[in-house]
Amino acid sequence: MGRVGLIEDAVILAEGRLSVFGAKTASCILRYANEAVVAVLDSTNAGKTAEAVLGFGGAVPIVASVKDSLKYKPKQLVIGIAPIGGGLPPEYREIVKEAIESRLSVVSGLHYMLNDDEELYDLAQKHSVKLLDVRRPPDELTVSKDEARFLPVFRCLTVGSDCSVGKMVVSWEVAKALRKKNINAQFCATGQTGMMLSGWGICVDRVISDFVAGAAESLVKKVSDADIAMIEGQGTIYHPAYSGVTLSLLHGSCPNIMILCHHLGRTHIKQYDVSIPPLKKIVYDYEYVSAYTHPAKVVGIGLNTVDSDEETARKACIELERELNLPVTDCVRFGPEPLADAVFKEFKQWKSVWKK
Amino acid sequence: MGRVGLIEDAVILAEGRLSVFGAKTASCILRYANEAVVAVLDSTNAGKTAEAVLGFGGAVPIVASVKDSLKYKPKQLVIGIAPIGGGLPPEYREIVKEAIESRLSVVSGLHYMLNDDEELYDLAQKHSVKLLDVRRPPDELTVSKDEARFLPVFRCLTVGSDCSVGKMVVSWEVAKALRKKNINAQFCATGQTGMMLSGWGICVDRVISDFVAGAAESLVKKVSDADIAMIEGQGTIYHPAYSGVTLSLLHGSCPNIMILCHHLGRTHIKQYDVSIPPLKKIVYDYEYVSAYTHPAKVVGIGLNTVDSDEETARKACIELERELNLPVTDCVRFGPEPLADAVFKEFKQWKSVWKK
C-alpha cells in the first residue's frame, strides 16, 4: 500500500496487452511505482505476478477482473495502455464501469476524456468517485514567447527515432542518477505516464497545436531554479502523424543538449510504412532542426535492448559508441551512469560560462 | 450585398489596426470577397474607403462604430484581425456586444471561443444571432494514417519563411489561375481567413497537436477527385512557437511540390528574436524535412512585395530567379501565372507517371 505521484493503491488495467510495448503505461508504473500498485488486471495472465510476465514489477499479483482485485483493497483503476489515437478500447468500457461501481477512482491518460463521457461521468457521480483525465491540458496555456533559452536551468531533452522507444525511462533514470550526485535534477513530464509517476506536467500531445511550444516553455519555467531539467521527449521528427509535436517540444523547451533514444533492431516507425534512418543521420537531423531556433548537441544514446539477449545488447552498445563517438547505454539493463556523466560534464561547462 | 464563403453582408472589424499586416483577415476578405462586405469598422480611418487606406477593397466605406454601419444593412460582424495568441482584444469586446445587440451575427477566427464566453453567448441567445467560431475544429479528428501520399490528387503546399507572409494569398491565387487553364484545382483552407473565403476547411493550429497531421490528411482526402489540391500553409519551420504546426501540416498533407512564400525585406521572425535564413537555405530545409516521410521539391517563390516600390519589387524577383533558378513572382502585384505554370508542368509530369 502506498502512493507515488498520482498513483495510489492502484489496479493497473492492461487486459490482454501486458507487455513492455503493448502496455507502456502499465510497464512504467510497475517499474517505477510498484509500491503504489496492488494488482494488475489482465485475465490472460491471471494468477502470475508482474515479475513473472515482465521481468520486473515484483510480486504484484495479476488478476482476471475488478472483482478479483477487491481483496487487495484498491483505491484506483489506472488505465495502463497508450494506444495510437488514444481511444478507449470497447472491451475496456465494461471494466471501467465495474471499477466505478466498485468505488474505485479511475486514472486515464487516453485522449478519450472519461469526464466527457456522459454514462461514465454520471456513474462516477453516483458512486462518489473521481475520474482523472491526466491528458486534459490546463486552461491557461498560450503561445511560446521563446524564453526557455534564457532560463538559468540547464536543459536536457530526450529525443527519439520513434514513439515508445524509452524516452520517458531515460529522462527519469538520468534525473535519478544526477540526484545521486547531489545535483538538483528535475524530471519534466510531457506525457501521461510521466505525469502519473511525477504527479505534475503537461501531456503536450493533447495541447492545441499553436500552444505546444508554449506548454513546453511553461514546464521549463516551473523548474527554472533547479540545476538541470530532464525533459521527457515525445514522438520523433520522422513520424508521419506526430512529427509536429516533437518539433514544438524541441523548439519550446530549447534544450542545451539532447539524448537520443532508440529501440535496438527497430527499422520502421511503429505501425507506419516509414523507415527509421541510421542513427548517425538522426543525430545530425536533431542537431540541425534544433539550430533553427537554438543550438543543441546530442551527448549520448539511450538504447532500449529489452528484446535482445545480454550479449547482443552489450555488443550493440560498444559498436554504437565507436560509430558515433558518444556514450551509449541501456539505462534499465546497464544503468544510466554513462549518460548522467555526459549530462553532468556539459552542465558544468555551461554553468562556468553562464555564471560569468 | 452578397455572399462569398462564410461572409455575407459583413462589417469587418479592424478597429485601430487596418493595414495589410495589422489586420490580415480584414485585408484578405477585402481583397477577395469585397462584394460580401458592406463596411469596415475602424474609427481611426472613418470616412475613407478601403481602397484609399489599403490600395484595394474598392469603395467599401469605413465607419467609426457598429451604429454607423447599420445604414448599410449588415448581417454579420467579422473579426478582422489574427493576433499572436488569438485572444479577443479588450477594446473589441464592447464592439462585439454592440453588434450582437444590433442583431448582427459574429464570425470569429480567434483562438478565444466566443461561444464559450458566457456573457457573449447569453447575449447572442437573447438577440437570436449566431456566433460562428471558425477556428473550432470538428469533433471527429484523429491521427494521420499517412495516406495522403497515396491519393490520386496532385498536392501543392505553400510554405513560408515566417507567419503572415502571404501563403493563403499565393495558394488562392494559384488555384484561381489553374482553374482558368481548365484544371480542377481546389483550395484547401487551413486557417481562419481561408475558411471564411472558401466556406470550408480546418484551422489546423487549433487542433490537438496529435491530430494536426490527421486533419491535414482529411482535407486532402476531401478533394481527392480534383486534379490539384492547393493547400494553404501555416507558420514556418523556424518559428519558436509554431514550427510544430508547420511540420505536422507538411507531413500530414504530403505535398508533391511546394511554393515558398517570403515577405521581401523581412529579416526576423515577426515579434521574435530569431533570424530568417537566406532563401536558398529555406528551400533546402523544406525539401530536407519533407523527405523525412515523402520527397517534395520547391518549384517557385511567392514574394510579398507589398511595402516596396514597383521597381524594387521587380528587381528582387529577377535577382531571386537567377539566384535560386526558380520562378519568382508577387501574385498580387505581377500575377500568379509563373507559379501556376510551374505547378501545371509538375502536375503533367506526375500525372503521366501516376496513370500508368
Instruction: State yes or no: pLDDT of B1 exceeds 80.
Output: no
Distances in Å between the Cα of A253 and the Cα atoms of A287, B64, B314 are 14, 44, 41
pLDDT tens-place string over residues B268-282: 999 999 999 999 999
DSSP letter at A223? T
Residue A186's H or E segment, with its range, is: strand A185-188
| Fold matches, A3-133 and A148-354 | yes
Q: What is the pLDDT of residues A204-225, one digit of tens each?
A: 999 999 999 999 999 999 999 9
- A355, pLDDT greater than 80: no
Give residues 22 to 61 of A whose Cβ lies within 8 Å of B. Answer: none
Predicted confidence (pLDDT) per residue in B105-116, tens digit: 999 999 999 999
Give me the residue from A85, A204, A214 closest to B142, CB to CB: A85
Residue B356: pLDDT over 60: no
Over residues B124-129, mean pLDDT: 98
Residues in B touching A251 (Cβ below 8 Å):
239-241, 243-244
What is the DSSP code string of A13-51? E-TTT-STTTTHHHHHHHHH-GGGEEEEE-GGGTTSBHH
pLDDT, mean over chain B = 96
Burial B56-93 (b: 16+ CB within 10 A, else e): ebeebbbbeebebbbebebbbbbbbbbbbebebbeebe
CA-nearest residue of chain A to B253?
A240
For residue B302, pLDDT beyond 70: yes
Cell of residue B22, nine digits: 495589422
pLDDT category of residue A354 using cuts at 50, 70 and 90: confident
How many CB atoms are located within 10 Å of the residue B100 CB? Answer: 27
Tell me whether B207 touches chain A (CB under 8 Å).
yes
Among the partner-chain residues A206, A213, A238, the one whose CB lies closest to the CB of B292 is: A238
Residue A85 binned pLDDT confidence (cut-offs 50, 70, 90): confident
DSSP state of B223: T
Q: Which amino acid is at B297?
A: K
Q: Which of A292, A296, A297, A246 minimizes the C-alpha distance to A269?
A: A246
Fold category of A148-354 in CATH: Rossmann fold (3.40.50)
Where do runs of H (alpha helix) occur along A70-191?
90-101, 118-126, 167-180
Q: Provide the phi-psi class of A308: left if phi over 0, else alpha when psi is between -120 and 50, else beta.
A: beta
Distance separating alpha carbons of residues B170 and A144, to the nearest angstrom: 27
- Chain B, window 319-338: residues with a beta carbon less than 8 angstroms from a chain A beta carbon: none
Using CA atoms, how far apart are residues A127 and B30, in angstroms rounded to an integer? Answer: 57
What pLDDT does residue A105 have?
A: 98
Which ipTM value was assigned to this complex?
0.95
| Residue A138 neighbours by CB distance under 10 Å | 9
Domain A3-133 classified CATH 3.40.50.300? no
Best of A110, A206, A210, A282 to substitute, by most chain B Cβ atoms within 10 angstroms, is A210
pLDDT, tens digit (0-9, with 9 covering 90-100), for A166-194: 999 999 999 999 999 999 999 999 999 99
State pLDDT tens for residues A63-82.
999 999 999 999 999 999 98
Query: b or e along A15-48 (b: 16 or more beta carbons within 10 Å of the residue's beta carbon)?
Result: bebbbbbbbbbbbbbbbbbbebbbbbbbeebeee
Instruction: List, in order, residues 6 or more apart from A22 with CB less than 8 Å away.
Output: A14, A81
**Nearest-by-CA chain A residue for B137:** A208
d(CA B189, CA B187): 6
Please judge whether A210 and B292 are an interchain contact, meaning their C-beta atoms are less than 8 angstroms apart: no
What does the pLDDT read at residue B355? 66
Q: List B residues 267-306 in contact with A (Cβ-Cβ < 8 A).
A: 272-274, 285, 288-289, 292-293
What are the pLDDT digits (tens) for A257-285?
999 999 999 999 999 999 999 999 999 99
With CA atoms as reference, the chain A residue closest to B147 would be: A240
Place of cell 448582427: B104
Point out the residue among A111, A146, A208 whose CB comes nearest to the CB of B206.
Answer: A208
Question: What pLDDT score does B85 carry?
Answer: 85
Whether A239 contacts chain B with CB within 8 A: yes
Tell me the C-alpha distance between B276 and B282, whole Å.
9
What is the arithmetic mean of pLDDT over B174-192? 97
Determine, for residues B289 and A292 on separate chains, whether the beta-carbon distance falls below 8 Å. no
Model pLDDT, residue A179:
98
Nearest by CB to A146, which of B251, B252, B272?
A: B272
Q: Decide: B42 and B15 in contact? Cβ < 8 Å.
A: yes
Domain assignments of chain A as residue spans, ordered by start: 3-133, 148-354
